Amino acid sequence: MPDAMPDLPEPRDQTIVTTPDQLAALNSQLRMRILAVCKDPRSVRETADLLDVPITRLYHHINLLQEAGFIEVVHIRKSGARLEKIYRVTGRVITVDSERLGELSDPRAAAAAAVSVVIEPTRAEAEAAFLARLSGGDEHYYVGRDQARLTDDDAIELIERLEQLVRTFLTDRNTGDDPNALPYAFTYAVTRTDLV
The pLDDT confidence band at residue 59, using thresholds 50, 70 and 90, is: very high
Query: What CATH code would you report for 1-102?
Result: 1.10.10.10
Residues 17-36 have pLDDT tens digits of 888 788 888 878 789 889 88
Note the helical H segments in the chain. Answer: 20-26, 29-37, 44-51, 55-67, 98-101, 107-134, 152-167
Residue 105 has pLDDT above 70, yes or no: no
Note whether 38 and 32 are within 8 A (CB): no
- Segment of 67-71, 90-94, 114-118, 160-164 carrying the highest mean pLDDT: 67-71
Higher model confidence: residue 83 or residue 106? Answer: 83
Give Cα 38 to chain centroid, integer Å: 9
38-49: average pLDDT: 93
Residue 89 is predicted with a pLDDT of 93
Residue 68 is predicted with a pLDDT of 94
The residue extents of the domains of the chain are 1-102, 142-196
> What spatial distance separates the first Cα and last Cα of the chain, rounded to whole Å?
56
Residues 118-175 have pLDDT tens digits of 777 777 777 777 888 888 877 777 778 889 999 999 999 998 998 888 878 776 676 6
- Segment of 57-61, 77-81, 144-148, 162-166 carrying the highest mean pLDDT: 57-61
- Segment of 43-52, 86-95, 169-178 carrying the highest mean pLDDT: 43-52
Higher model confidence: residue 41 or residue 135? Answer: 41
